[in-house]
Amino acid sequence: MESFQTTDGHLLREHATIIRQLVLQSLTEAGSGHLGASLGLADVFTALYFSVLRHDPAKPQWPERDRLVLSIGHAAPVLYATLAHAGYFKTEELQSLRKLGSRLQGHPGRDHGLPGLELSAGSLGQGLSVAIGMALAARFDGLNHTVFVVMGDGELQEGSVWEAAMAASHHHLDNLVAIVDRNGVQIDGPTEKVMHLEPLADKWKSFGWNVAECDGHNREQLIETLKHRRNATQPLVVLAHTIMGKGIPAIEGDYRWHGKVPSREQLPGFLKDLRNMHKT
């Protein structure tokens, strides 16, 4: 348990680099998938699984664990890489991503029995609602764990997200934290070109949420924001400003890398980029 509550900056950086490496390797091996969001969320997942979440890989069903719901199912590789690196299963299994018979489905599927996976998801706009159900259940049971949900920014164009935003606020779910991967891009291009989202913080505020914005690659800032949110009576949304494809300069911020993976020839260069980022 102790190793999952770290604030040691060097250790966190180490974890983030390893998670990115695992993401790159597993997606290259898979030959298809979504690289951009997984690399962009690596620091968020590092902060969550190695500092913020109360969890125990040896007891994935521990009733008092914090829940992490991945609403953007296409970012499954970063969840899988993080779970494996945290010890829920062997990292070798990451090589089975997207293959026949694998527990690592292209979008998360609980029916395949992967430990640590809270929800089968992939159709956008549903995770926040499911998280509300989990948060309400915790309240019914008098348990004080927190339910975290990770959403994409493009996902916020789904109307059901705002049904959920209304409901979480109406029911004063102070045990609910939504994290938005605010990378500003989606498959067709910049979010503000495809469908305007700004002023995004104001939208959430007007729905009754507490809003925090932070650099989604600054792990210390993320941890601070996610941990010290007590005495609130409303749910919290964290707009985590990230760069899609973070760590690989050639693809950073390039929306064309939303649904692409590196070729075997590209992989060594990309891994070298990660080592360079790790040193700086």
Partner 1 sequence: MNPYTNKGNKATRTGFGEGLLAAGQLNDNVIAIGADITSSVGVDLFASAFPDRFISLGIAEQNCVAVAAGLALEGKIPVFSTYGVFAALRAADQIRVSVCYNNVHVIIGGAHAGVSVGPDGATHQALEDLSIMQALPNMTLLSPCDATETKNAALAAILQCRGPVYIRFGREPMPDFTDPNIPFKIGKASEMLKGDDLTLIATGHLVWEALLAAQILEKQGITARVLNMSTIKPIDREAVIRCAAETRAIITVEEHQINGGLGSAVAGVVVTECPVPMAFIGMKDQFGESGPPLELMKKFGMDAASIADTALHLFRKKMSD
Dihedral sign computed on CA atoms, order 246, 252, 253, 256: negative
CB 78 within 8 A of CB 19: yes
Q: Return the number of the residue (161 or 244) whose C-beta is nearest partner 1.
A: 161
Q: Does 60 bind partner 1 (CB under 8 A)?
A: no
Cβ contacts of 145 within 8 Å, gap of 6 or more: 54, 64, 65, 66, 67, 138, 175
Is 26 among the residues that bind Mg ion (CB under 5 A)? no
Q: Does 245 sit near Mg ion (CB under 5 A)? A: no
**For partner 1, the closer CB: 121 or 214:** 121
C-beta closer to Mg ion: residue 89 or 255: 255
Q: Of 126-134, 177-185, 198-206, 268-276, which part binds partner 1 (CB under 8 A)? A: 126-134
Residue 1 binds to partner 1 (criterion: CB under 8 A):
no
Among 48, 84, 97, 164, binds partner 1 (CB under 8 A): 164
Q: 195 is in the binding site of which of partner 1, Mg ion, none (Cβ under 5 to 8 A by kind)?
A: none
Pairing of strands 210-215, 236-241: parallel
Decide if 166 contacts 204 (C-beta within 8 A): no
Cβ closer to partner 1: 3 or 206? 206
Measure the CA–CA gap between 46 and 179, rounded to whole angstroms: 14
Residue among 26 and 186 whose Cβ is closer to Mg ion: 186
Dig out the tokens for 23 from the structure. 């993401």
The tokens for 130 are: 């499911």
- Answer yes or no: are the C-beta atoms of 145 and 54 closer than 8 Å: yes
Which H or E element spans position 215?
A: strand 210-215
**Backbone angles phi and psi of 150, in degrees to 5:** -105, 125
39/176 with CB nearer partner 1: 176
Structure tokens at 149: 């949900």
Beta carbon of residue 110, minimum distance to partner 1 (angstroms, whole number): 6
Selected binder of partner 1 within 26, 46, 126, 242 (CB under 8 A): 126
**Using CB under 8 A, which of the segments 16-24, 34-42, 78-86, 135-143 binds partner 1?**
135-143
Under the binding rule (CB under 8 A), the answer on residue 243 touching partner 1 is: no
Dihedral-angle region of residue 168 (phi above 0 means left; psi in -120 to 50 means alpha; beta otherwise): alpha
Which residues make up the interface to Mg ion (CB under 5 A)?
152-154, 183, 186
Which residues contact partner 1 (rule: CB under 8 A)?
A: 109-111, 118-123, 125-126, 129-138, 140-141, 159-160, 163-164, 166-167, 170-171
